[in-house]
Structure 1
């Protein structure tokens, strides 16, 4: 029996609004991110989810919290869904890194898997742990529908690895997952078969692509 996984990137933070690399750092949701989390909860209430799983990183947990309250579910925390550690890029933009480490950036852009930022987690290892975690979630909730809250780079790496897209192309093939947007996979019970991609980067509310907080039911930004 197949399992449906709905993969959602956490809500926006100040760093993400400025396009800064945020991997292991604890950066809280900004006002837009909080609106996105509440809107995601309202959207999830209209769907059918049997379980809710989250990365342990606080911004992901903060995104999952209103969903858990709306659905009456406990949030399962899975350590291997944490974001990639970006090493020297942590907290910085690519433009800033081009000023201080131009050769590093040139190599990274040419092949981010072969040339990760110094001190960063190897992308192939991150992809492996993410796919392993998602497979395990699907097995534990066989036949169900699961909402998974995680991170932009980790989910893109996992999608490429699991769907058979060359990992070195992840930035080109999947340039960005929007905050609080939904990507759906149908995972077959047979472990040797890849999942089916049912939907990619679908906004769950107008707050997903907004530059400013969007008022939603019962709340103003």
Structure 2
């Protein structure tokens, strides 16, 4: 019989991307726009009365934090704010639409989506730095919340970094490799065993008919 100290501990983390923010589709990054009315509705549609969590963790940006605090308050749960889960900064592209950027920068926007690792927007946060801080925050909460059921409210880029880590997606393919529309949910199971930590994505559930802007 295994000693109880080496028994497997399982953590479930439900990653949910924020809904539509106010201000329309644009490269938002570190801009702190709140959710639109539609965005709130999308988020409310993404959770159910049967969901059970022990704690809520969120990016500090309004489009994530406000809904996370609402869920925590409604369900009498603790809410933890993690700055390292904020979205990537898009530098000079922030606040601009893809059409405007294409007019100003030509093919750079296409090069970014094809290979964001080697095509950093002007003044933006390099992808390697973004990955490092997101995974640092992710691993800290895996350690702190071992064995819990967690709702984590964050951003499309943040979730892509986490899924790339879990699924082994090359960093240069991380932005284009997985569709994460507004209010999309991804469940990650983490088993901490005597042989090490094992992570797997067990579900990925975009809302039906939800657009997939990838810039916020």
TM-score exceeds 0.5:
yes
Aligned residue number for residue 214 of structure 1: none
Q: Is the 8 A contact 2:166 2:200 kept in 1?
A: no
Q: Is the 8 A contact 2:93 2:101 kept in 1?
A: yes
Q: CA deviation at 1:121?
A: 0.8
**Larger helix percent:** 1
Give the TM-score of the pair, scaled to structure 1. Answer: 0.83
Cα distance in 2 for residues equivalent to 1:115 and 1:194: 32
3-state SS of paired residue (1:184): strand
Q: Deviations over 1:81-134 (max 9, x none)?
A: 111101111111222111111143243233111111111111122112212212
Q: CA deviation at 1:40?
A: 4.2
3-state SS of paired residue (2:175): helix
Aligned residue number for residue 3 of structure 2: none
Please state if 1:4 is matched with 2:12.
yes
Structure 2 counterpart of 1:178, from 177, 181, 188: 181
3-state SS of paired residue (1:200): strand
Give the TM-score of the pair, scaled to structure 2. Answer: 0.85
* 1:7–1:90 distance in 2 versus 1, CA, 3 Å: same
* 1:146–1:90 distance in 2 versus 1, CA, 3 Å: same
Q: Is the 8 A contact 1:127 1:161 kept in 2?
A: no
Aligned residue number for residue 31 of structure 1: 37
Unaligned runs of 5+ in 1: 212-221
Q: Is the 8 A contact 1:85 1:120 kept in 2?
A: yes
3-state SS of paired residue (1:27): coil
Q: Is the 8 A contact 1:11 1:63 kept in 2?
A: no
Aligned residue number for residue 63 of structure 1: 67
Cα distance in 1 for residues equivalent to 2:211 and 2:158: 23
Aligned residue number for residue 20 of structure 1: 26
The runs of 4+ residues in structure 1 deviating greater than 6 Å are none
Cα distance in 1 for residues equivalent to 2:201 and 2:15: 11
* 1:210–1:111 distance in 2 versus 1, CA, 3 Å: closer
RMSD: 2.2
Aligned residue number for residue 118 of structure 1: 122
Aligned length: 203
3-state SS of paired residue (2:192): coil
Cα distance in 1 for residues equivalent to 2:160 and 2:135: 11
Aligned residue number for residue 216 of structure 1: none
